[in-house]
Amino acid sequence: MTQSYTTIKFAIIEDVATISLSRPDAANAMNPVMARELNLAAIECEEHQGLRAVLINAEGKLFCAGGDISEFAAAGKQVGALIREMAGDLHLAISRLTRLKAPVIAAIQGTAAGAGFSLAIAADISIAADTAKFTMAYTNGGLSPDGSSTYFLPRRIGDRRARELMLTNRILTAQEAADWGVINQAVPAETLDQTVQQLLKTFKQGPTLAYGAVKALLNDSFNHGLETQMELETRAIADCSMTRDGQEGLHAFLEKRPANFIGH
């Protein structure tokens, strides 16, 4: 399946998908078209057999300035319908990417606000240039957060800090975002691509089914009691052990050699 995109760029090369936000002249602001195209790209990721990793990045100076306020204002009394459509597509995209077996990496080269912040917090691994800044921004416009942020942010950084960011729109530097747990790492801007590509290489060569099990267990861990979660862990590790990669990992360890994981 090949889609034609106008607000993002999408490609899958050697089983690694890249989704690039591509409205640099509009600060990569989220509009209904971009949300719909993110959902279509997520579907393409789901449909690609053997996918090993997904990279989300952006063109231009900003990662994503949030929702496209000019389109919201132009919609007039239809703004509620426009936002329902846009949020629905964005949420489907995030749900699909979250539930992929393949790890999702966000490479954040500039300011991530609103929906951009939400994309950063939803990714499995987020790495930012040290010049990037992060702010929720929603309540500055009289709006409440979306994009999964009220789900992921308290899970990543705790309720107290999540409330502070959402209620005050405090701006975090990249290093502060890393210290708070909003992102994994802040790196010099000139080394961002190199750092991300090395991580993609690791995931591309790794045990994708095991990565998927990790994601599934962690995604639902707040929804279960101890015994239920341990039962799910038992099922997952047993299932992994019977895969080709599980067997390869066990034998490679015993034979003291690097494992050759093929993703299944």
**DSSP code, position 146:** -
Report how far residue 103's alpha carbon sits from residue 55's, in angstroms, rounded to the nearest whole number. Answer: 9
Return the pLDDT at 15. Answer: 96
CATH no. for 8-204: 3.90.226.10
Beta strands in 60-202 (DSSP E): 104-108, 112-113, 125-129, 133-135, 172-173, 185-187
Cβ–Cβ < 8 Å for 210, 245: yes
CB burial class (10 A; 0-12, 13-18, 19+) of residue 234?
A: exposed
Cβ–Cβ < 8 Å for 16, 62: no
Mode of pairing for the β-strands spanning 8-13 and 16-21: antiparallel
For residue 258, count other CB atoms closer than 10 A to its CB: 8
- pTM of this prediction? 0.94
Return the pLDDT at 101. Answer: 97
Report how far residue 113's alpha carbon sits from residue 150's, in angstroms, rounded to the nearest whole number. Answer: 14
CB burial class (10 A; 0-12, 13-18, 19+) of residue 112?
A: buried
- Using alpha carbons only, give the angle 132, 134, 140 rounded to the nearest 5 degrees: 135
Residue showing tokens 């992921």: 152
pLDDT along the chain (264 residues), means of 10: 86 97 97 97 96 98 95 94 96 97 98 97 98 96 94 96 97 98 97 97 96 96 95 96 95 95 89
Return the pLDDT at 154. Answer: 96
Residue 140's closest CA among 66, 214, 238, 79?
Answer: 66
Q: How many helices (H) and strands (E) does the chain have?
A: 11, 9
Report how far residue 87's alpha carbon sits from residue 67's, in angstroms, rounded to the nearest whole number. Answer: 10
